Amino acid sequence: MRKALGAGLLEAIRISVRSGKCRRLSLSETTWVLRHSYLAIGNDCGPMHIAAGVQTRLIILFGPSCEVKNGPLYKGVPLSVPVPCRPCQYGELLLSCNDPRCMNELIPSWLWTKSEGRCRPGHQRQDRA
């Protein structure tokens, strides 16, 4: 049953991507995809917490939110820009920020440099207990 769901889901995703008409996945489909993924990359959001729950390797991007409070407990690499005003996810600082460097500097080249090799097969990672 699960193999049939997975095979059908993968084919549906392939067709959606080829046609340019991607559809939203259900919660169970999202969980299946994340469980069968080698690596998930994203911001501090629900799907990344689902990926952590199914023990998929993660690179999670943190802007104003706090990776110590919200970070993954399993196979996660939290990345954030080291600016003195973060984390500021609560309070007036977040609402009055005129220079959100913690978000604007999360650019692909910086992310690649910080994450390169940290989630490759055979990489010795230190998982949190």
Domain count, the chain: 2
Assess whether pLDDT exceeds 70 at residue 10.
no
Query: Are residue 31 and residue 61 in the same domain, yes or no?
Result: no
Of the candidates 57, 62, 55, the residue with the CA atom closest to the CA atom of residue 78: 62
CA 99 – CA 21 distance, rounded (Å): 36
Query: Are residue 104 and residue 62 in the same domain, yes or no?
Result: yes
Query: Are residue 44 and residue 104 in the same domain, yes or no?
Result: yes
Query: Are residue 53 and residue 99 in the same domain, yes or no?
Result: yes
Q: What is the pLDDT of residues 67-101, one digit of tens each?
A: 888 877 766 888 888 888 888 887 777 778 888 88
Query: Are residue 63 and residue 27 in the same domain, yes or no?
Result: no
Q: Are 114 and 79 in contact (CB under 8 A)?
A: yes
- H or E element, residue 41: strand 39-43
Query: Are residue 24 and residue 59 in the same domain, yes or no?
Result: no
Query: Are residue 30 and residue 63 in the same domain, yes or no?
Result: no
Query: Are residue 17 and residue 56 in the same domain, yes or no?
Result: no
Query: Are residue 27 and residue 47 in the same domain, yes or no?
Result: no
Q: Please give the pLDDT value at position 16.
A: 64
Domain that holds residue 96: 39-120
What is the reported pTM? 0.67
Using CB atoms within 10 Å of the CB of residue 22, give its burial: 0 to 12 exposed, 13 to 18 middle, 19+ buried.
exposed
Query: Are residue 56 and residue 99 in the same domain, yes or no?
Result: yes
Of the candidates 93, 33, 26, the residue with the CA atom closest to the CA atom of residue 63: 93
- Which residues is 76 bridged to in the sheet? 58
Q: Please give the pLDDT value at position 87.
A: 86
Query: Are residue 54 and residue 27 in the same domain, yes or no?
Result: no
| Cα-based distances in Å from 34 to 11, 49, 52, 88 | 16, 10, 9, 29
